[in-house]
Amino acid sequence: MADNNPRQSSSLQRKTFRVREMDCADCAIGLEHAMRRVPGVREARAVFHTGTLQVWTLPEVDESVLHEAARQAGYRLLPHQAHSRAEGRQLRTGKVVLASLLGIVAFILQNQQVSAWMFVPLYLTAIALAGVPTFIAAWRAVRQRMLDTNVLMSIAVLGAIGLQEWAEATTVVCLFAIGNLLEHLTTERTRRAIRQLMDSAPETATVVTPEGTHTVPADLVQQDERIRVRAGERFPLDGEIVEGYSDVDQSMITGESRPVPKSPGDTVFAGTLNQTGMVDVRVTRTYENTTLARLIHLVEEAQEHKAPLHHLVDRFARVYTPVVIALAVLLSTIPPLVWGDFDRWFFRSLSLLLVACPCALVISTPVALVAALGTASRLGVLIKGGIFVEAMAQVRAMVYDKTGTLTTGKMRVREVQCLDNAPPEQILAIAAAVESASTHPLAEAVREEASRRGLSLPPVRDSRVVPGKGVQGVIDGKLCRVGNAEFACTHLVQDMPLLPGAEEEEATQVWVQIDGKTAGRILFEDTRRTEAAEVVRELRRMGIGYHVMLSGDKAPIARRIARDLGLDEVRAPLLPEEKVQAVHELRKRFGAVAMIGDGINDAPALKVATVGIAMGAAGSDAAMEAADIALMNDDLRLLPYLIQLSRATVSIIRQNIAFAIGTKLLLLFIAAPGYLPLWLAVMGDTGVSLLVTLNALRLAKHRQENTQ
C-alpha cells in the first residue's frame, strides 16, 4: 500500500518530471497507478493542470525504469526543467474542426437519401479524427485496470457504430472532443504561466571579480559572489545591492504594480526586472534556492494538497463509474430477455453510459480551486493547495505575531523629553550627531527623525561605539553620551518629565548626557503597519470575531500595540514552544484558527495552526516552509481578500457539485425510458461541464471587484 506521507521517510528520493501526452485528469490518475506498480516506488502524484509528476522511490530505483513504465502506460517523461510545449494545440484544434465539418456534410448527405457508401466513410473519418485521443486514453485506462470517462465514452461510440447509428456516434465523439479541447486550452494557460515564471530568470549571470567581469551559467554562481545587472536586464539570483541605484519591477514576486526604488542594502529577487540603473549585487541565495525557484516549486505542488470536498468527489467518482457500467450492462441484457427488442434496450444503455459520465462532477471542485489559486497568485498571494482555500473559509479566530507582522520591526522616535527647559530639537540634534557612528536600529531611528524635522547636526569628533551600552563623541568641547541609563546617567534624574508608570515601562528609550549631566531621553516605538487596525475591523465585519497577539516582546509593549489595534487578547512574552501551546488552546476554543507571522520563531506555531500565513517573500525560509499561505508583498489588507476568496470558492464548489448531480439525475430519469438521444446525452454532459467551468471563472471577476 502506498505511503500517504512519503516525505516523512528520509530514505526515499523524490524525482520530478514533466509529462507529455497527459491530456486529461483521468490520464493523471492512470499514470499514478502505473508508477505505483513499479517495484521500489512508494508514492506517485501526477498533476494534470501543471503537467508534472512526482515520484518517491527507494534509492536503488533507476530513473530509466520509471521512463519505461510511463512509456508502457502511453506517456513520455521529460526532465523537470524541460518545457511542456504546446506545439500540438493547433493541429488538435484543426482535427476537431475538420471532424465536425465532415460530420455535418455526412449528416446532410444521409438526409438526402443517398447511398450509404457516400456518407458512412465521412462519418468514420470524422470519428477517427476526433475520437483517436479518447480511444487511446480508454485503452490506457483498460490496461491499468481502470474505468474512467474515456472508457465510458468509447463504449458508447462503439456501441452506436455497432447499431449503425452513424450520426449519433459522430456527434458523441465530436462533442466530447470539443469539451476535452476546451479543458486542454484552459489547462494550457496554467502551464504557460508556470513556463513564464521559469523563463523569467536569466540562465547566465555577469560575475564581478578583481580581474574584471565574465559571464557564467547562473547555477554555478556561489553565495556571496558579486554579480552585475544592467538596466533592462533581469536579476538571475536573489541578492543584496552593494553598489548603484535603480527601480525594480518585482510584480511577478510580490504583486506590486509599481516599480520599487532600490539602493545599497536593499534586497532583490531572481526574475525581477532592473529598469533604470546598473547595480552590483551580492548573491544571497544560489540558483536552486532563490525565491523564484521556491515560488515555482510551491505553485507546482499546490494541487498536491486537495481540499476535503475534492477528496469526497474523487472517492464518489471511483465508486460511481463501475456502478454505472454495471447498470448499463443490466439494462442491455435483462429487459430484452423479458420484453425483447435488444437494439432498443442496448441503445438506452448507451444513453445511460453517456448521461452518467461523471465529467462535470469530477471537475466541479478542481476547476474552482485552480481558478482561486491562480487569481490569488496574481495578487502576490501564494496558496499551497486547495485544502487551505477551504480551510480559510472556516476560520473563526486570527492569531498575529507582533514584530514584522502587525509592526514593521523598524523603530521610530516616539517622544523627546528634556530637562531644564532645553529645546527637544537641540537634544535630538546632539543625539543624531553622536549616533552617526552607530549602525544600531535605534541610532538609525534617531537620525531619521532628525532628518524628518530638518535639523542641522553639529560637528562631532572622537566618536566611539561602546558595545552593549551606547555611543559617545565630543561636540563643542563637551563629551556627549547617548545610550542606556547605566552608560549615560550618573544618577537617575528625579525631575525628568516622566510618562505615567505603565507607559514608561512600555517605552524603549535611550538617555542623552552632555558634559557629565543628564540632558534628556528619547523614547521609541515599533512602527505599526498603517493598515493593521483597518484589517482587524474589516475581519470583524466579516464574522471573524476574536483576534489574538502572540509576541516574544515585553508584555507592556505588546499590550499597548494590541490596545491600539483593537485586539481581544495579548499573550507576551512567549517562547516559540509557548506560542505553539497557545495556538493549540485557541484551536480547542474556536476550531479553525489562522496564524500570521514572519520569523523563524513563528514557524512551529504556523505549522500547528489550521492555516499558517507567512509574511513576505523576504521572510524567513523556515516561516515560508511551515506556512500554508504566503503574502508575498507584506500587505495585511490581503487577509480580508483571502477570506472573501475562500468563502466564494467553497460556495462555487458546492453550487457546481449540486448542479452536476442534479442535472445527472434529471438526465438519467429521461434516459431510462429511452427519451434521450445519444447526442443530447453528450450535449448534456459537456454542457454541464462547460457551465461548471464558467461558474468557477467567476472567481476572476470576484478578484477584480475586490481589488479596484
Find the CATH number of the domain harbouring 424.
3.40.1110.10
680 and 601: one domain?
no
Is 84 domain-assigned? no
Of the three residues 159, 181, 201, the one that is the final residue of a domain is 201
CA–CA gap between residue 376 and residue 389 (Å, rounded): 10
Enumerate residue ranges in the chain where pLDDT < 70. 1-11, 21, 23-26, 48-50, 80-91, 147-148, 179-180, 182-200, 251-258, 294-318, 320-321, 354-360, 362-363, 490-507, 599-600, 617-625, 671-686, 701-708
Of the three residues 225, 256, 289, the one that is the final residue of a domain is 289
Q: Which residues contact 310 (CB under 8 A, 6 or more apart)?
A: 365, 366, 369, 386, 387
The predicted pLDDT at position 356 comes to 65
Is 489 domain-assigned? yes
The predicted pLDDT at position 503 comes to 45
524 and 413: one domain?
yes
50 and 69: one domain?
yes
DSSP string, 283-313: E-S-GGGSHHHHHHHHHHHGGGS--HHHHHH
351 and 337: one domain?
yes
CA–CA gap between residue 485 and residue 511 (Å, rounded): 6
474 and 582: one domain?
no
Of the three residues 528, 543, 571, the one that is the final residue of a domain is 528
CA–CA gap between residue 425 and residue 232 (Å, rounded): 44
CATH number (domain holding residue 64): 3.30.70.100
436 and 524: one domain?
yes
626 and 543: one domain?
yes
The predicted pLDDT at position 85 comes to 47
Is 176 domain-assigned? yes
560 and 592: one domain?
yes
Is 224 domain-assigned? yes
The predicted pLDDT at position 632 comes to 78
At residue 10, the 3 state secondary structure works out as coil
Q: What angle do CA 292, 298, 302 make, to 5 degrees?
A: 150
428 and 363: one domain?
no
CA–CA gap between residue 621 and residue 625 (Å, rounded): 6
Is 660 domain-assigned? yes
Is 86 domain-assigned? no
Structural domain count of the chain: 6
Q: How many CB atoms lie within 10 A of CB 672?
A: 16
577 and 622: one domain?
yes
CATH number (domain holding residue 618): 3.40.50.1000
Q: How many CB atoms lie within 10 A of CB 121?
A: 12
371 and 425: one domain?
no
Parent domain of 224: 206-289
The predicted pLDDT at position 647 comes to 92
Q: State CA 290 to chain mean position distance.
A: 16
CA–CA gap between residue 254 and residue 506 (Å, rounded): 34
315 and 345: one domain?
yes
Give the residue numbers marked as catalytic.
401
CA–CA gap between residue 665 and residue 674 (Å, rounded): 15
Is 85 domain-assigned? no
Integer angstrom CA distances of residue 269 from 176, 241, 282 = 44, 11, 12
Is 601 domain-assigned? yes
